[in-house]
């Protein structure tokens, strides 16, 4: 079986994606956009042993690889359209490929995303996905644009995926299905990102931990932030962790939740909150944007009485 | 030095690329197209030890990684615009990064291409590049569309890169600078691809060898082909190889030349040939499209008197 058979068997699927002029299978794909649309794209790599465990189920891996990439589109408020996949494999393992492609397309189909090109090569297991989406009429979220007094809000709950990863590392896999699934099959907040556009122009997804990612947001916006550690949205499952320090460490520095963190002007906050409540989506105020003094990326943590820490840390790739 | 410092130091460059709404450095890039433009894109991976030698100079590697990806845009007749880079590195090696980024941007700047996003991760050396270009008014080359009696034409000369690779493998590096450079720094035929649009709608780039790539073209077009082995465009340097079998093997199955192979209707051929001649660009007729009999992808090789082979072979990734 050569590269072309492999692609045909596992990665050629019917799709109903709009605007595809030349589909998967030529030297390039060609797509068209409507006049009001702009193209939004991002590339992400996952390396075995670094970003995922070698024994992770291929279904989960396929799902997770696309979900984490998709989260970058969610963070811009974009509507997903297509993706490309560069897959480096140590060998052709049909069981693995069947599982991986199943998990991948399970999520792709949820968002009507078409796979419009790829490359399969032989080497150490590495998964690179580029996702493409569109925004309309130049409405998008970016890291820049947070203003002093904006409310910092977070979707969903945070800290779950980091706790789930700990369960996996400790091989307590039966421990808590919710926390595990938050790590293994994260939800990219695609609908939430688009829904935030009327209320915000500034957001980021939480992939490296709230402190690290909010750090990027305030740096790009040339502001600082105060985060109220007691306000962090906490799932019931995470709440069962008795050790407050451990729980807050997951929530502040854990990463992998792929929730969105946005800055919302005070006069838009109640509307945004009401819209999310009507949808049944959590949206929690966790802090405030403040003026940058010496450090434009400083984040101060506020506990029940006073400031306790003024240092952002997060997952560093190197 | 973390991922962000590394990106800033080596991969953040000024550019003058049109239509960039959100540049490198946010969760996604955002670009706009003119109403008549369509987006063209392709992703390619190079793995150390598989697609390049471990001791290849990082300048050449950066140049070559972009050139081989760019060749897919050339094969569609697209105008290059931007690219993304997913770089997996075993460690932060500043000398390597300086060289790699120098070679990469040397070529990017030749085509006014902007780097609009990327991901740097730690792991075995793997380079994935997605290139993006545009076509205008829906004029493009694709693998499908070759018609019976079309002339099969090839740009430049072929077989050089395969001969150059052999010199490298035999460590005869002083042997022939031209052949070596054809492997180490291939030229994506970007201008030629665009220039072919008035004369052709069907083409492919020769990355895996003429037989393999022409095989894809005739399969997609549901036709067959006859190639005249004595007509293959041969550089002076390749002509010095006395062994005719070796030379023809490089030319038919060698790959890595990144020349274009196109099908041109007989009544357009003399115009196309004249236009290329006026530009000083070689364009050589090497065969004819014929009707598919039993096999839609059959390629017959014609020697000085009769048919000698009817089998296409090429580089298989798996």
Q: Which residues of A touch B262 (CB under 8 A)?
A: none
Residue given tokens 């090839």 in the structure block: B154
β-partners of residue A257 are none
Q: Which residues of B touch A260 (CB under 8 A)?
A: none
Detail the DSSP E strand segments found in chain A. 20-22, 29-31, 37-47, 79-89, 114-122, 126-136, 151-155, 202-205, 224-228, 260-264, 283-290, 299-302, 307-309
Interface of B with A in 142-171 (CB under 8 A): 142-144
**DSSP label of B229:** G
Beta carbons of A127 and A56 less than 8 angstroms apart: no
User: What order do you get walking across the sheet with B126-136 strand by strand?
Assistant: A20-22, A29-31, B37-47, B126-136, B79-89, B114-122
Quick one: pLDDT at residue A5?
80
Do you know the residue count of chain B?
318
**DSSP label of A186:** P
Q: What's the mean per-residue pLDDT of chain A?
A: 91
pLDDT digits (tens, 9 = 90+) for B278-299: 999 999 999 999 999 766 668 9
A119 in a labelled binding site: yes
The reply to whether residue A143 touches residue B33, judged by beta carbons under 8 angstroms, is: no
Q: Which residues of B touch A122 (CB under 8 A)?
A: 47, 50, 317-318
Residues 6+ apart with CB under 8 A from B166: B250
Residue given tokens 């003119």 in the structure block: B34
Residues 6+ apart with CB under 8 A from B280: none
Query: How far does CA B168 lie from the centroid of its chain?
Result: 20
Quick one: pLDDT at residue B314?
37
Quick one: pLDDT at residue B53?
82
Quick one: pLDDT at residue B51?
85
The reply to whether residue B92 touches residue A318, judged by beta carbons under 8 angstroms, is: yes
B42 in a labelled binding site: yes
For the residues A243-256, what does the mean pLDDT come to?
A: 93
Please state which CATH class domain B3-136 belongs to: alpha beta
Query: DSSP assignment of A269-312, as one string?
Result: HHHHHHHHHHHT--EEEEEEEE--SS-TT-EEEE-SSSEEE---
Is residue B92 within 8 angstroms of chain A, CB to CB?
yes
Interface of B with A in 222-261 (CB under 8 A): none
Quick one: pLDDT at residue A176?
85
Beta carbons of B94 and A19 less than 8 angstroms apart: no
Q: Is the pLDDT of residue A162 over 90?
A: yes
Beta carbons of A248 and A210 less than 8 angstroms apart: no
The reply to whether residue B84 touches residue A28, judged by beta carbons under 8 angstroms, is: no
- Name the 3-class secondary structure at A243: coil
Q: Cα-Cα-Cα-Cα dihedral of B10, B14, B15, B21, to 10°?
A: 100
| CATH number for region A151-309 | 3.90.650.10
Quick one: pLDDT at residue A122?
92
The reply to whether residue B85 touches residue A43, judged by beta carbons under 8 angstroms, is: yes
**DSSP label of B142:** B
Quick one: pLDDT at residue A233?
98
Pairing, β A283-290 against β A299-302: unpaired
The reply to whether residue B43 touches residue A117, judged by beta carbons under 8 angstroms, is: yes
Indicate the domain borders of chain B: 3-136, 151-309
Q: Which residues of B touch A220 (CB under 8 A)?
A: 25-26
- Name the 3-class secondary structure at A260: strand
Chain B interface test: which of A23, A28, A94, A189 (most B C-beta within 10 Å): A28
**Is residue A160 very low, low, confident or very high in pLDDT (cuts 50, 70, 90)?**
very high
Interface of A with B in 188-207 (CB under 8 A): 204-205
CA gap B106, B114 in Å, rounded:
12
The reply to whether residue A28 touches residue B76, judged by beta carbons under 8 angstroms, is: yes
Q: Which residues of B touch A124 (CB under 8 A)?
A: 47, 123-124, 126
Residue B268 in tokens: 């357009």
* Separation in Å, CA of B243 to nearest CA in chain A: 30
Residue B229 in tokens: 């082995």
For the residues A191-220, what does the mean pLDDT come to?
A: 96
CA gap A73, A81 in Å, rounded:
10
A268 CB-contact burial (10 Å; exposed 0-12 / middle 13-18 / buried 19+): middle
Mean pLDDT by runs of 10 across the 318 residues of chain B is 78 88 94 96 93 89 98 98 96 94 97 95 95 96 97 98 90 79 96 98 96 94 94 95 92 95 98 98 97 78 66 42
Range with the poorest average pLDDT among A67-71, A312-316, B100-104 = A312-316
B44 in a labelled binding site: yes
Q: Is the pLDDT of residue A293 over 80?
A: no
* Separation in Å, CA of B241 to nearest CA in chain A: 31
Beta carbons of A218 and A224 less than 8 angstroms apart: yes
A51 in a labelled binding site: yes
């Amino acid at each position: 079986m050569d590269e072309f058979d492999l692609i045909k068997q596992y990665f050629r699927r019917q799709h109903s994606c709009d605007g595809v002029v030349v589909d998967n299978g030529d030297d390039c794909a060609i797509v068209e956009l409507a006049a009001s649309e702009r193209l939004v794209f991002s590339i992400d790599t996952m390396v075995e042993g670094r970003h995922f465990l070698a024994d992770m189920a291929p279904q989960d891996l396929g799902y997770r690889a696309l979900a984490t990439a998709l989260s970058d589109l969610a963070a811009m408020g974009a509507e997903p359209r297509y993706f490309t996949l560069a897959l480096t494999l140590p060998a052709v393992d049909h069981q693995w490929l069947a599982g991986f492609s199943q998990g991948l397309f399970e999520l792709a189909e949820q968002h009507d995303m078409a796979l419009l090109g790829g490359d399969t090569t032989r080497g150490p297991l590495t998964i690179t996905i580029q996702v493409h989406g569109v925004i309309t009429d130049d409405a998008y979220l970016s890291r820049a644009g947070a203003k002093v007094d904006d409310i910092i809000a977070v979707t969903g709950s945070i800290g779950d995926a980091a706790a789930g990863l700990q369960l996996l590392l400790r091989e307590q896999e039966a421990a808590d299905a919710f926390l595990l699934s938050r790590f293994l099959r994260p939800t990219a907040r695609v609908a939430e990102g688009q829904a935030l556009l009327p209320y915000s122009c500034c957001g980021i997804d939480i992939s490296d931990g709230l402190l690290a990612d909010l750090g990027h947001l305030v740096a790009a916006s040339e502001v600082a932030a105060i985060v109220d550690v007691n306000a962090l949205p906490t799932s019931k499952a995470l709440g069962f962790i008795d050790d407050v320090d451990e729980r807050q460490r997951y929530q502040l520095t854990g990463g992998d939740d792929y929730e969105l963190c946005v800055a919302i002007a005070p006069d838009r906050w109640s509307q945004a909150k009401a819209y999310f409540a009507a949808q049944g989506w959590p949206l929690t105020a966790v802090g405030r944007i403040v003026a940058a003094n010496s450090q434009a990326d400083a984040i101060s943590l506020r506990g029940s009485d006073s400031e306790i820490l003024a240092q952002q840390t997060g997952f560093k790739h190197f």
